């Protein structure tokens, strides 16, 4: 198959899930390329905004050809920026088709706004499109602003969902969470995001006797991630179970003054190391130093960090606001969200779990979300979509021919 990927976000603004799925599909023998239009913020990236490449250029990322372009967003002009962004994606698709021919299928990541742009490209070039939705409702509502579900954005996104040949949610919980915003009157199914199980490989940890029990948390510093609950739970864990545990924390904003104040509030400063944002090697280094990963999230669309941690052979402690498809048996301990006391208890259970089999848990993760597994699942979906679309298109063409002949007879 010839697959054209269209992400809503791309580095440096996230969106690596698009690249990972593209790599998984290439391993299945498909031709896969990405067109990425970056919506560059003057506030978040002033240097990139000033030096934006407003014409398309090609780069190679992990063996995937990516055609990039950068759009200077105008502050406080959301609708204008959306219109421009979709229009530019349309131009990039036209250029792509002239150069490489029509792809068999368009694969958009996140409906806002790659899904909507893919719908427009599909309509113009008669190519089926699929939307993989990654974003939790909180992130959509943040974009909708004070108008909420009455925002002008909602009908456009609803249309893009309904017109898609298939909508893929990264978890069943996400599908249900988004139903109040976008409904469910469309063809959808669940496929997890993939993790690179060749990178997040199993490594046996040293016996705990004679060393410090180490917990890590890898998450951006925002209220949704529940750092206040995590620190309260960790403080109670240390005090109640009389342990000299340490907590390693990494992610965007985690070395900020606000984070340090939060750590000091719970009196755990000497037990906590704050790293800030790290690259993949830095993340792996922390995981291999740790016996357990904690995520006190208040809502999580997927929770790939949990799968990555378990893939390296450690337990995870998280909340009931994570999807069931990341609750790997034997590797995942659950606490109700916002319950620091129960999370502290789960830390103790993880510390004393002498029967934990990290290798078995790692193998289970690999069997569920490795690139090979997810690549095959996406391949099956895309083949089904293309076959149905061709049949539908042929039937429509035949119907139009019959109508034309009937009209000519009447003349």
> Which two tokens mark 163?
């017109």
> Which two tokens mark 222?
């925002």
221 and 254 in contact (C-beta within 8 Å)? Answer: yes
294 and 230 in contact (C-beta within 8 Å)? Answer: yes
Mean pLDDT of 308-323: 97
Please provide the DSSP assignment of 187-205 as one string.
-EEE-PPP--TTTS---PP
pLDDT one-digit tens code per residue, 81-128: 999 999 999 999 999 999 999 999 999 999 999 999 999 999 999 999
Q: What does the pLDDT read at residue 395?
A: 58
351 and 213 in contact (C-beta within 8 Å)? Answer: yes
Look at phi and psi of residue 55 and say left if phi exceeds 0, alpha if psi is from -120 to 50, else beta: beta
68 and 98 in contact (C-beta within 8 Å)? Answer: no
Question: Is residue 331 pLDDT above 60, yes or no?
Answer: yes
Question: Is residue 405 pLDDT above 90, yes or no?
Answer: no
pLDDT one-digit tens code per residue, 52-84: 777 899 999 999 999 999 999 888 899 999 999
> Which two tokens mark 248?
């390693």
> Which two tokens mark 25?
């599909």
Structural domains in the chain plus CATH codes: 2-194+382-390 (3.40.50.2000), 214-367 (3.40.50.2000)
On the question of a cis peptide bond just before residue 8, with omega within 30 degrees of 0, the verdict is no
pLDDT one-digit tens code per residue, 19-46: 999 999 999 999 999 999 998 887 777 8
Q: What does the pLDDT read at residue 140?
A: 94
Q: What does the pLDDT read at residue 406?
A: 52
Q: How many residues belong to the chain?
A: 411
Q: What does the pLDDT read at residue 13?
A: 84
317 and 206 in contact (C-beta within 8 Å)? Answer: no
69 and 36 in contact (C-beta within 8 Å)? Answer: yes
Q: Which residues touch 180 (CB under 8 Å, ≥6 apart)? A: 137, 149
347 and 233 in contact (C-beta within 8 Å)? Answer: yes
Neighbours of 242 (CB within 10 A): 7
Q: Sorting pLDDT into bands at 50, 70 and 90, what band is 404?
A: very low
Q: What does the pLDDT read at residue 396?
A: 63
Q: Which residue has the tokens 């893009």?
A: 160
Which runs of consecutive H residues, i.e. helices, occur in 68-214? 78-100, 116-125, 137-144, 153-163, 172-182
């Amino acid at each position: 198959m010839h697959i054209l990927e269209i992400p809503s976000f791309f580095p440096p603004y996230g969106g690596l899930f698009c690249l990972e799925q593209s790599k998984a599909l290439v391993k299945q023998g498909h031709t896969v390329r990405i067109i990425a239009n970056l919506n560059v913020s003057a506030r978040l990236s002033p240097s990139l905004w000033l030096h934006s490449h407003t014409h398309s250029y090609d780069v190679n990322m992990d063996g995937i050809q990516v055609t990039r372009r950068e759009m200077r967003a105008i502050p406080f002009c959301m609708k204008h920026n959306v219109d421009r962004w979709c229009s530019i994606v349309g131009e990039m698709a036209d250029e792509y088709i002239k150069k490489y021919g029509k792809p068999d299928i368009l694969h958009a990541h996140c409906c806002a706004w790659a899904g909507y742009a893919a719908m427009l490209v599909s309509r113009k070039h008669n190519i089926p499109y699929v939307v993989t939705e990654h974003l939790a409702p909180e992130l959509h509502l943040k974009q909708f602003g004070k108008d909420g579900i009455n925002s002008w954005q909602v009908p456009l996104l609803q249309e893009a969902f309904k017109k898609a040949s298939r909508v893929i949610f990264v978890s069943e919980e996400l599908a249900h969470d988004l139903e109040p915003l976008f409904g469910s009157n469309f063809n959808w199914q669940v496929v997890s995001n993939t993790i690179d199980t060749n990178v997040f490989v199993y490594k046996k940890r040293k016996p705990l006797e004679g060393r410090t029990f180490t917990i890590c948390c890898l998450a951006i510093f925002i209220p949704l991630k529940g750092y206040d609950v995590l620190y309260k739970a960790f403080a109670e864990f240390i005090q109640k179970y009389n342990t000299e545990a340490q907590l390693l924390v990494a992610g965007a904003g985690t070395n900020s003054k606000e984070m340090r104040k939060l750590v000091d509030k719970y009196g755990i400063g000497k037990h906590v190391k704050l790293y800030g944002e790290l690259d993949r090697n830095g993340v792996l280094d922390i995981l291999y130093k740790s016996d357990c990963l904690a995520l006190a999230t208040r809502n999580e669309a997927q929770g790939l960090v949990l799968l990555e941690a378990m893939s390296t052979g450690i337990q995870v402690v998280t909340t009931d606001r994570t999807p069931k498809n990341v609750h790997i048996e034997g590797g995942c301990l659950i606490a109700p969200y916002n319950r620091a006391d129960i999370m502290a208890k789960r830390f103790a259970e993880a510390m004393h779990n002498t029967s934990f089999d990290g290798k078995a848990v790692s193998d289970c993760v690999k069997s569920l979300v490795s690139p090979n597994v997810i690549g095959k699942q996406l391949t099956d979906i895309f083949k089904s979509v293309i076959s149905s679309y061709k049949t539908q298109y042929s039937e429509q063409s035949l119907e139009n021919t019959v109508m034309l002949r009937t009209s000519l007879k009447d003349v």
